C-alpha cells in the first residue's frame, strides 16, 4: 500500500515530492521518426501507423456524418442526460471568464486597451481505449466554442472495429464539432502539427495522453505549434486531519490511482490514528474496483506522510504543487487561504475530486508534475490571444513624444527617435 513516511524533516521534502521517473529521452527518437513519416506521407502514414499500433485497418480517417447521427442511439438516456447537465455546468462556469475590453488613458490623449481574440484553429486530442474520455472533450470543447475558435479538429483513437466510442461522438455532436479524426497516439499530434490530406493543421493542441502523446506535444512546439501545458500522469494530494472519514480519503486516493500505473497519490496528515485507518479502507475498497491491478500498482509509488501540524501540511502541499488538492480538515478556511500552488482545489468532506473531473463546472485539464507552481489549468483564456491596441491623439503624442525621444537616445536607437520626432515636427508646423 502507501509508503509511510513519519515526521520527515524539511531537508528531505525535495526528495519526497519527486514523481515517478519518466524517461522521455528514450522515446524522443521514435516520435521524431513518426513525425517525419506523417509530414512526408500524410494520410498514408496515418493509416499504416494506425494498423501497426492500434491493430485497426481503416478505409478512411474521418468519422462520417452518419456515424455521428447514430451515436445517441448507442448510449443510454441516463448518460445522455448526465452529459447534457455537465455541459450546462461547465458552460456556466466558463462563461464567467469572458474579459471585457477596458480602455485606459495612460496620459492625456494616450489611450490603450487589450482585446481577446480567438485562436482560429485548435486541435483537441481525446484518449480512447479502455477509458474513452468524453468528459475531457467537454472540458476542451466548451471553452473552445465559447472563445469563438473558427475551426476545431478532434482526434481520438479508433476501437478495434474501427469506430469511435459513441459517447465521444454524442458529446462532439452536442458541441457542434464535426471534424473528427480516427487517429490516436503521437501520430495524431503529428497530423495536427503538419496537416494531412484529411486533417487540417492547427495553431494550438490541447488534451492529455500517455508518455508518447506527451513527448509528441513537446515536439510539436519545435515546429511552431503551441500546446495547452506540459502534462504528465494524473495525481492527487489529500490533506486530512483527525476529523476526516478514512473511507472518504481512501476513495479519493483510489479515484486517481486507477488512472494509470504512472500516476501518484499522496496523503498528508497530522493524525497518527488516520494513517492505518486509511490503509485499511484502501484494502477494502480496492477489492471492488474493475481497475484493481492498476490502482494497486499506483499505490506502490504513492505516499502517506505524517507531519506535526496544519502549517507543515500546507507547506508540504505548496512545495509538491499537486494537480488536484483535496482538503478535509477542521481548519478548512485557513488552509484554503494558504494554498499557493495547485491545479484545482476541493474543499471539505463532500467535495470529491470526481465532481471536478466530470460536472461541477471547473476544468479538469490541469498542470501535473509540479507545473502548478507556474501554470494554470485550461480555461477560456487558453483559447484566445490577448492583443493590445493604442491610439494617440496629436495632444497625446506631444505629451509622450519627448519621453520616448529621450529613452530612444539613451538606447542608441536613432530610427525609434526619428519616428516620433518627425511627427512632432509636423505638429509644430501646423
Half-sphere CA count of 159, side-chain side, radius 13 A: 11
Q: Is 210 annotated as a binding residue?
A: yes
Three-point CA angle 331, 335, 340, nearest 5°: 180
User: Closest Cα to residue 347, out of 366, 325, 362?
Assistant: 325
Q: Is 165 annotated as a binding residue?
A: no
Asked if 324 is an active-site residue, the reply is yes
Torsion of CA 195, 201, 205, 210, to 10 degrees: -10
Half-sphere CA count of 143, side-chain side, radius 13 A: 28
Q: Is 292 annotated as a binding residue?
A: no
Q: Is 259 annotated as a binding residue?
A: yes
* Total residues belonging to the chain: 430
| Contact indicator for 291, 388 with CB cutoff of 8 Å | no
Q: Of 94, 165, 324, 364, which one is the catalytic site residue?
A: 324
User: How deeply is 406 buried, as exposed, middle or buried, from its count of CB atoms within 10 A (0-12, 13-18, 19+)?
Assistant: exposed
Q: Is 391 annotated as a binding residue?
A: no
Q: Of 279, 312, 323, 331, which one is the catalytic site residue?
A: 323
Rounded distance, CA 150 to CA 203, Å?
12
Rounded distance, CA 225 to CA 371, Å?
20
Q: How far is CA 237 from CA 301, 367, 368, 423, in A?
A: 13, 14, 12, 60
Q: How far is CA 387 from CA 117, 143, 239, 381, 383, in A?
A: 7, 19, 40, 12, 13
User: Closest Cα to residue 39, out of 186, 156, 152?
Assistant: 186
Q: How far is CA 316 from CA 4, 14, 16, 158, 418, in A?
A: 15, 9, 9, 41, 55
Q: Is 256 annotated as a binding residue?
A: yes
Give alpha helix (H) positions in 98-198: 134-147, 166-175, 185-194
User: Closest Cα to residue 132, out of 186, 160, 168, 162?
Assistant: 168
Q: Is 324 annotated as a binding residue?
A: yes
Q: Is 234 annotated as a binding residue?
A: yes
Query: 273: Cβ–Cβ under 8 A, 6 or more apart, which residues?
Result: 242
Per DSSP, the three-state class of 305 is: strand
Asked if 323 is an active-site residue, the reply is yes
| Contact indicator for 145, 137 with CB cutoff of 8 Å | no
Task: Output the known binding site for NAD(+).
Answer: 125, 187, 210
Task: Output the known binding site for substrate.
Answer: 234, 256, 259, 324, 357, 411, 416
**Positions marked active-site:** 323-324
Task: Output the known binding site for Zn(2+).
Answer: 256, 259, 357, 416
Task: Output the known binding site.
Answer: 125, 187, 210, 234, 256, 259, 324, 357, 411, 416
Amino acid at each position: 500500500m502507501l509508503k509511510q513516511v513519519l515526521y520527515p524533516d524539511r531537508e528531505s521534502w525535495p526528495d519526497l515530492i519527486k514523481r515517478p521517473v519518466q524517461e522521455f529521452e528514450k522515446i524522443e527518437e521514435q516520435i521524431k521518426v513518426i513525425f517525419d513519416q506523417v509530414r512526408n506521407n500524410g494520410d498514408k502514414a496515418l493509416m499504416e501507423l494506425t494498423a501497426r499500433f492500434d491493430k485497426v485497418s481503416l478505409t478512411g480517417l474521418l468519422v462520417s456524418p452518419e456515424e455521428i447521427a447514430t451515436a445517441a442511439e448507442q448510449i443510454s438516456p441516463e448518460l445522455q442526460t448526465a452529459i447534457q447537465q455537465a455541459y450546462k455546468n461547465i458552460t456556466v462556469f466558463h462563461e464567467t471568464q469572458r474579459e471585457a475590453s477596458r480602455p485606459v488613458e495612460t496620459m492625456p490623449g494616450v489611450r490603450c486597451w487589450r482585446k481577446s481574440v480567438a485562436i482560429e484553429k485548435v486541435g483537441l486530442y481525446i484518449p480512447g481505449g479502455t477509458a474513452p474520455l468524453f468528459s475531457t472533450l467537454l472540458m476542451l470543447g466548451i471553452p473552445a466554442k465559447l472563445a469563438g475558435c473558427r475551426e476545431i479538429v478532434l482526434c481520438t483513437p479508433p476501437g478495434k472495429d474501427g469506430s469511435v466510442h459513441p459517447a465521444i461522438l454524442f458529446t462532439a455532436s452536442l458541441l457542434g464539432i464535426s471534424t473528427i479524426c480516427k487517429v490516436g497516439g503521437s501520430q495524431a499530434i503529428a497530423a495536427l502539427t503538419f496537416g494531412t490530406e484529411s486533417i487540417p493543421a492547427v495553431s494550438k493542441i490541447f488534451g492529455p495522453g500517455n508518455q508518447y502523446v506527451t513527448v509528441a506535444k513537446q515536439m510539436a512546439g519545435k515546429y511552431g505549434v503551441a500546446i495547452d501545458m506540459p502534462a504528465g500522469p494524473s495525481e492527487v494530494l489529500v490533506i486530512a486531519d483527525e476529523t476526516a472519514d478514512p473511507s472518504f480519503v481512501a476513495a479519493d486516493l483510489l479515484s486517481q490511482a486507477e488512472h494509470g500505473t504512472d500516476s501518484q497519490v499522496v496523503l498528508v496528515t497530522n493524525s497518527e490514528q488516520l494513517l492505518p485507518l486509511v490503509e485499511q479502507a484502501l484494502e477494502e475498497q480496492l477489492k471492488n474496483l474493475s481497475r484493481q491491478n492498476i490502482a494497486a500498482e499506483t499505490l506502490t509509488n504513492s505516499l502517506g506522510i505524517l507531519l506535526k501540524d496544519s502549517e507543515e501540511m500546507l507547506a508540504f502541499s505548496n512545495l509538491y504543487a499537486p494537480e488536484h488538492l483535496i482538503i478535509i480538515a477542521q481548519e478548512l478556511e485557513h488552509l484554503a487561504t494558504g494554498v499557493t500552488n495547485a491545479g484545482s482545489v476541493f474543499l471539505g468532506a463532500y467535495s470529491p475530486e470526481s465532481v471536478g473531473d466530470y460536472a461541477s463546472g471547473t476544468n479538469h485539464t490541469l498542470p501535473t508534475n509540479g507545473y502548478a507552481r507556474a501554470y494554470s489549468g485550461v480555461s477560456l483564456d487558453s483559447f484566445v490571444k490577448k492583443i493590445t491596441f493604442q491610439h494617440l491623439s496629436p495632444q497625446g503624442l506631444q505629451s509622450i513624444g519627448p519621453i520616448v525621444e529621450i529613452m530612444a537616445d539613451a538606447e542608441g536607437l536613432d530610427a525609434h527617435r526619428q519616428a516620433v520626432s518627425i511627427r512632432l515636427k509636423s505638429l509644430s508646423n501646423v
